[in-house]
Amino acid sequence: MARASERYPVEEKSAEKITAHVLTVDIVDFSLREDAEAQTSLVQHFIQLLHQAIPEGVDNSVDRVWSPAGDGGSLTFPKSVTAPLDTAINLARLTGDYNEGTFEGLPKPRIPLQLRIGIHTGPVSMEKDFDDRTNVWGNGVNISARLISLARPGQILISDAYYQGCDRNVWIIHGGLEKWWC
The burial class, CB within 10 Å (0-12 / 13-18 / 19+), for 175 is: exposed
User: By three-state DSSP, how is residue 137 classified?
Assistant: strand
Residue 39, pLDDT above cutoff 50: yes
Give pLDDT tens digits for 43-54. 999 999 999 999
109 contacts 41 by C-beta, under 8 angstroms:
no
Beta pairing partners, 115: 27
Give pLDDT tens digits for 18-31. 999 999 999 999 88
- List the domain boundaries for the chain: 15-173
Helices (H), the chain: 4-7, 36-53, 83-100, 139-150, 160-165, 168-173
Q: Angle, to 10 degrees, between the axis of helix 83-100 and the axis of helix 36-53?
A: 130
Fold exhibited by the domain 15-173: Alpha-Beta Plaits (3.30.70)
Beta pairing partners, 23: 75, 119
User: pTM score, two decimals?
Assistant: 0.85
